[in-house]
Structure formats: structure tokens, C-alpha cells
Structure 1
Amino acid sequence: MERLQKVIAQAGVASRRKAEEMITQGKVKVNGKVMKELGTKVSTNDKVEVAGVPLVKEVPVYYLLYKPRGVISSVKDDKGRKVVTDYIPEVKERIFPIGRLDYDTSGVLLLTNDGDFANLLMHPSGEVDKVYIAKTKGIPSAEQLKSMKKGMMIEGEHMKAAHVKVMSSENKKNTAIVQVVLHEGKNRQIRKMFEALGYPVDKLKRERYGSITLQGMNAGDARPLKPHEVKQIRQLAEENVK
């Protein structure tokens, strides 16, 4: 017997957190009856429906996309804009992005149909390094970078960088290339932190997610993750969550 939300997540319909929302909203039926109780457990013999669609367990798949700028980190967009799954059209499974990158941000984006895997990587305690390179208008000082590591209150949210350093700067152009490492992933976090310091971000790219990099890839390229890559990043997150 498994918890209903876990079964939905493992089937690739959504992350476990989203599955819980769907249950409480009355969108899930077990053997024809609506189930709103999160503690409900089901067996392989139970018939589960989500939004009227019978649940079919998929084989888990894992993909890396070099997300270009100007693409939505979603599986669909009501405004008809490009979404990340448009770059992996051959995948038959119902994959979804793990977290998101802003519309104007490029770089490493992982996609899967494994809700448990996605939930593990997005868990606040996972502390998987997400390494970004930002080009800022203006050159932040060492003291200002320290404030990013200490943590900043922005729009009522506490935002913090695990590590930050200036890689290079151009005094004539008054720009800097700054490496930022995050463990969390709040909406537009890096842009908001630099803007709060007075240094708007001109370009932003996620170069690494755990041990996974963009080596040998161009913007718009996608590939399946290798089994050892999935194992490595899963182990890293599990160790930190423990």
C-alpha cells in the first residue's frame, strides 16, 4: 500500500506537492469515489483517476535541457509562447520541469516524469548546488556580496546565496561577471538580490545543477540523463535531506 499522492507522483502526473493539491481539490477518484484525504493509501489493484483520466504508471525518464532565453519553464502556455517541452518533442512520457528558470534565464533545466525525484531535488533541505553566472550592470563590492551570503529580506522573503564571487569586471563598461551558488530557488531570486543592491542583471545563465553541466551542448539542445548522473544527484540530495 502506498500513499495516494506518492502513487500519482510516481505515475508522472505531477510532483507530490501538486498531487496533494489535486487530492484536496477533489480532482482524484479511487475506485470511482472522490478522495480528498491525504492519508489515503492505495494498492496496485485500486483504480485511480486524476481529473477524469485513469492513472497509468510510466517508466521514469530524466532529461537535461539547455534552456534558451525567451522560453517558459512549463509544459504549456496560454499565450502560445515556447515552452521547455517543445525542445524534447520525441518524449512520449508526461515530463515536467524540476523547478523553473525565468523566461529570460538560460541554462541547465532538468525534466522528468518522476515526481519523487523532482520533489527530492526541490526539497529545501536538499542543498544541491545550483551554479549561476550573472552579468551585472555595475560592479558590486566585496561587502555587498557578503550581504548576499548573509541573507536579505526582499518583498517579505528571506533570500540567501550559498556562495558568490566576482569572476571578472570591466571598469570602462562598468559591468561584472559574478558566479552565484544557490541551494534554494525562489522566483527571480538572483535578479531581485542584485537589483536590491543597485546592480540590475543583464544576463543570467545556470551553468550547473549538482554534478550536471552543459558540457558539449548549445542552447536548445536536450539529452537523456545517464543512469550514473541520475544516481549521483539523487544520492547528493538524499544525503543532505537526511
Structure 2
Amino acid sequence: MRKAGSPQPRGPRPRSAAAADPPARPERIAKLLARAGAGSRRDIERMIAEGRVARDGVPLATPATLVMNLEGISVDGKPVEAAQAARLFLFHKPAGVLTAARDSSGRPTIYDVLPQGLPRLMPVGRLDLMTEGLLLLTNDGALKRALELPANAVPRTYRVRVRGEVRQADLEQLAMGVELEGVRYGPVDASIDRRASTGSANIWLSMTLTEGKNREIRKLCAAMGLEVSRLIRTSFGPFSLGSLPPRAVHEVPAGEVARLVRHPRLRAGA
């Protein structure tokens, strides 16, 4: 598992899709727009349904529309720039910021604390308000979707500080999968990482899952009678938080991103 260190010097800018070989056959507009960073597939499907995506000024009726490229395509009346090569960044999200573009209540979001000068980036999945640690960011909607897709089973590992009695039988049950309030979770690989200092009721757990349902770890711990006091994501797929400090960003080398994009499982999911 690769560890993130201090940011490395940037290499040459990746060439745009316009400079690359054209696709051999038409592709769905939603897929091309996602690759260009216009949003996730779900975002784009919603925008098309709202009449915000047009070709030569005519709103598109379906995200299944086939096109060879993005020439003449606009979103909200603005031409869509040619897709850039996929880029991926590791970000150490601090606790107390939302994984969102904006918040109606005025709470800070990741975009308020990200360093200046980054390209337009989308988060891969979410970390809730008080969860900290590794958050992947990408300019490529297709890569985002492939990494998030439950069918691709990309593992995420967390360190969890809890209060309460940790029972081995409960941890073994997590490995088999559990159902809470009609929702199926798991399997989750959970183990005791270490106990806190003598006299403390705190225990650190390591938990690895592949689905990432909303507040999954907090709900599973609550069902075991455990109170979560700190939650840190330490890895996502082959990428590790390592020594990356809070609020810092590290760009994954282009060669690693290219290998990831070519991975058979992710390519099928995209």
C-alpha cells in the first residue's frame, strides 16, 4: 500500500482529450461529460432531465445520447471544455468540514479549506462532518464512479476510537454481515487495534469495508453498544493517508492514475 508523503513536484501537464486519439465509436454523453469533470453520472443525468445540457443549443432528452466528442455540447449555456487526462489527489480532510460544494447553514466545506490553485475536483464518496482522514479527489467523473461503485468492492480502512465493551463475537458477526433496520451491511473486517492508556475506557479499532453506506461505521458501532469518539479513514483502495498532514493535498503520479484507470474491474464499472 503506497503511503503519501510530502507533495512531489508537478510533472508535465497531462494532454487534453482533444490531443488524444479520438474514440473509435460513439459514447454516451453522460459518460463523456463525467470524464470531462462536469459532474458524476448521477449529476449529469439530473442536469439532462432539467434541460441544462444541450447540443448545438438544443436540450438533450436522454443521458443515453451517443456522441463522438463534446463539440457543440454546453451545460447551462456554457461550452464544455475538452476532457483532461484523469487526475487524482489525496486530501487529508480535517474534522468539522462537510464533503459538499456548499451548505445552506453556512458550515465550512472541503472547498473552503483546500489549497488554492487546484483544478476543478470532485470528491470520491464522502466523509461525514466529524470524520477525518483520507478523501480522494478527482477531475474525472467516470473514475469517481468506478471507485465508488459497490460492485467494484474497493476497500476503505478506518481507525475508530470507541468507548464501551468490545465483544469478539460482535466483531466476528460483522465479518459475516449484519442487518440493521432493514439495511444489510457488510462484510466488515474489524479488529482491536490497541487499547488506550491504563484506566481509560477508550479502545481503538481497525475496520475495513467495501460498501461505504451513509454513516456505516457509526451505525455498526452503535449497534454493538459502542460510542464513537473519533473516526479516521486511513486508506482507500491502494492509497494510504500516511504522514499527509491535515488540509494537505498530494497528487497521485500520472502513471499510477493511468494504471488505475486501466484496471479491469474499474474499467468495467465505469
TM-score of the pair, normalised by structure 2: 0.82
In the alignment, which residue of structure 2 is the partner of 1:238?
266
| 2:166 paired with 1:140 | yes
Distance (whole Å) between structure 2 residues aligned to residue 195 and residue 204 of structure 1: 13
Structure 2 unaligned segments of length 5 or more: list them: 1-25
| 2:30 paired with 1:30 | no
1:51 is aligned, of 69, 76, 79, to 76
In the alignment, which residue of structure 1 is the partner of 2:223?
196
Q: Which moved more, 1:54-63 or 1:108-117?
A: 54-63
Query: What's the Cα RMSD here?
Result: 2.2
| Offset from partner CA, 1:35-85 (integer Å, 9 cap, x none) | 122321123374112223221124232211011001111222233322223
Distance (whole Å) between structure 2 residues aligned to residue 73 and residue 47 of structure 1: 32
Native 8 Å contact 2:27 2:67 kept in 1: yes
Q: Which moved more, 1:38-47 or 1:199-208?
A: 38-47
In the alignment, which residue of structure 2 is the partner of 1:7?
32
In the alignment, which residue of structure 1 is the partner of 2:41?
16
Say which SS state the counterpart of residue 151 (structure 2) adopts: coil
Higher relative contact order structure (alpha carbons within 8 Å, sequence separation ≥ 6): 2
Distance (whole Å) between structure 1 residues aligned to residue 73 and residue 231 of structure 2: 42
In the alignment, which residue of structure 2 is the partner of 1:128?
154
Native 8 Å contact 2:165 2:225 kept in 1: no
In the alignment, which residue of structure 2 is the partner of 1:156?
182
**Per-residue deviation at 1:227?**
2.3
Q: 1:236 to 1:105 in 2, by over 3 A?
A: farther
Q: How many residues align?
A: 241
% identity of equivalent residues: 29
Say which SS state the counterpart of residue 158 (structure 2) adopts: strand
1:109 is aligned, of 131, 135, 150, to 135
In the alignment, which residue of structure 1 is the partner of 2:105?
79
Structure 1 unaligned segments of length 5 or more: list them: none
| Offset from partner CA, 1:223-242 (integer Å, 9 cap, x none) | 21122442454427538959
Say which SS state the counterpart of residue 5 (structure 1) adopts: helix
Q: Which moved more, 1:206-215 or 1:226-235?
A: 226-235
Counterpart amino acid of residue 62 in structure 2:
E
Native 8 Å contact 1:74 1:96 kept in 2: no
Counterpart amino acid of residue 190 in structure 1:
I
Say which SS state the counterpart of residue 175 (structure 2) adopts: helix
| Offset from partner CA, 1:204-229 (integer Å, 9 cap, x none) | 00001112112231111112112244
| Offset from partner CA, 1:1-50 (integer Å, 9 cap, x none) | 22110121011010122212222232211111111223211233741122
Native 8 Å contact 1:210 1:233 kept in 2: no
